[in-house]
Amino acid sequence: MKRTKLIIVLPIIIVFMLLITPISHALEGTVTKNRVNIRSGPGTQFSNMEQANKGDRYNVLQRADDWIKVKLNYREGWIAADYIQIHSEQHPETITISNKKTHIRNGPSTDYSINHFADKGSIYNVRSATGDWYEIENKHGRGYIYKQLTKPVSTPSKSSFANKTIVVDAGHGGRDVGAIGATEVFEKDVAYLTAQELKKELEMLGANVKMTRLRDDFVPLNSRISFSNTLNTDVFISLHYNSVPQLPNVTGIEAYYYQERNRSLATYVQAELIKSTGADNRGTSFGDFLVLRQNYKPAILVELGFISNKNQASLLQTTMYQQQLVSGIINGLGKYFANE
């Protein structure tokens, strides 16, 4: 008789144990409703131990289907998952992909289907962390990636810019006005405005900043390239603004590179520009521009907005938005220096 009971009970115990997922990371959970029952086991059939109220916080120990095991003062209890919000563990804000054709899945396990493949060096923002997986997203989409297939992108610091030589190229100048905006603003003037603000902020961080033009002068493209190539240039960045008069509602920021080795530089700067401004993300692309093609130093060209868009043209000339643009460029450069 005892032998029979063991045969019946043991499978039940095994199934119950398989349903329980241990949580190896120190997580916390916050109760989201008042008078929530804390039970002695993962189900309504278990006795009620005490009640929790909205805002109460507990250390999370395990999960069993729709129930969360929490640490009480001197014992442990279970709360229905619908009534407790688990806070994700600390994680990096941004990660980069370590290998080619890395699987991005629809959930935090290899049991989930592959969403898409990520290229080596791709950068993603991290939304949350679940065990050994990150939930990530960028302009290509959202998904989950195994943590060991990534590297955190270091946060830039002031030391990142110390002794760095950065050539800031304000596009156009003098008789070359560049694009003409919807409000009759010249591209050369807005680019110079950005260049001056960028120079000031970079120098405060300890960078050695060189300008391809110091005022509203015409400087040939070959002269700008030679200037960069003869210096110990760490980064050359050319600042421009777009214009498509026949499409006055188009907006957005985009970054270009010519050499494949400069793709990551463009990607870092583009990602941080979008983050700081909230502008439409037009991505990073190969750009066959003379200032990039004949530049032997790390070089990118950024189109910082469309002056053919009347609202954006006005916004681009405000101090607040210029500071947002400069902040994005600096954060991007900082991440490039910290990670390359």
Domain presence at residue 202: yes
Work out the pLDDT band at 89, boundaries 50, 70, 90.
low
- The reply to whether 137 and 195 lie within a common domain is no
Domain presence at residue 297: yes
Which residue segment(s) compose the domain that 208 sits in? 158-339
Domain presence at residue 7: no
List the CATH number of the domain containing 274: 3.40.630.40
Domain presence at residue 131: yes
- For the segment 253-282, the average pLDDT, to the nearest whole number, is 94
- The reply to whether 242 and 142 lie within a common domain is no
List the CATH number of the domain containing 40: 2.30.30.40
What's the confidence (pLDDT) of residue 21? 46
What's the pLDDT tens digit per position in 162-205? 889 999 999 999 999 999 998 889 999 999 999 999 999 999 88
Residues 6+ apart with CB under 8 A from 132: 108, 146, 147, 148
Segment holding 9, helix H or strand E: helix 2-19
- The reply to whether 238 and 180 lie within a common domain is yes
Q: Is the pLDDT of residue 160 over 90?
A: no
- For the segment 293-311, the average pLDDT, to the nearest whole number, is 96
Work out the pLDDT band at 16, boundaries 50, 70, 90.
very low
- The reply to whether 64 and 125 lie within a common domain is no
What's the pLDDT tens digit per position in 226-244? 999 999 999 999 999 999 9
- The reply to whether 245 and 275 lie within a common domain is yes
pTM: 0.61
For the chain, the domain total comes to 3
Residues 6+ apart with CB under 8 A from 312: 251, 305, 306
Domain presence at residue 27: yes
The residue among 105, 131, 152 that closes a domain is 152
Q: Of 30, 147, 130, which Cα lies nearest the Cα of 88?
A: 130
What's the confidence (pLDDT) of residue 217? 94
